[in-house]
Amino acid sequence: MKSNIIKRSVKIDGRSTSISLENAFWEELKRIAAEKNITTYRLVTDISVDSPHFNLSSAIRLFVLEHARRNRRAKAET
C-alpha cells in the first residue's frame, strides 16, 4: 500500500529542512495561509517558531487541527 505522506522541502530562516505531511494537511495549511494573506512557507516558519520543541511535521498537524477546532467552536457560538 502506497503511503499518502509526501515529503516536502521548506526553508526556515534560510535553512533547508523537510516535512512529511499527508496531502490533506498540506492543502489545509495552504488554505489557512491564504486566509491569513501570507505564504505557506511564512506560516510554516511561524509554526516552527511557536513550537520549537516539536517535530515540525507534527507541529503543523497540531496547528491545522487546532485551527479547525477554533473554527468549529466559533461557528457553534453564532
Per-residue pLDDT, 2? 58
- Tens-place pLDDT, residues 10-69: 988 888 999 999 999 999 999 999 999 999 999 999 999 988 778 999 999 999 999 999
Q: Are 25 and 64 in contact (CB under 8 A)?
A: yes
Q: How confident is the model at residue 1 (pLDDT cuts 50, 70, 90)?
A: very low
- Residue 8 phi/psi, 5-degree rounding, is -125, 145
Per-residue pLDDT, 78? 75
Per-residue pLDDT, 4? 85
Per-residue pLDDT, 3? 63
Element housing 58 (H / E) = helix 56-77
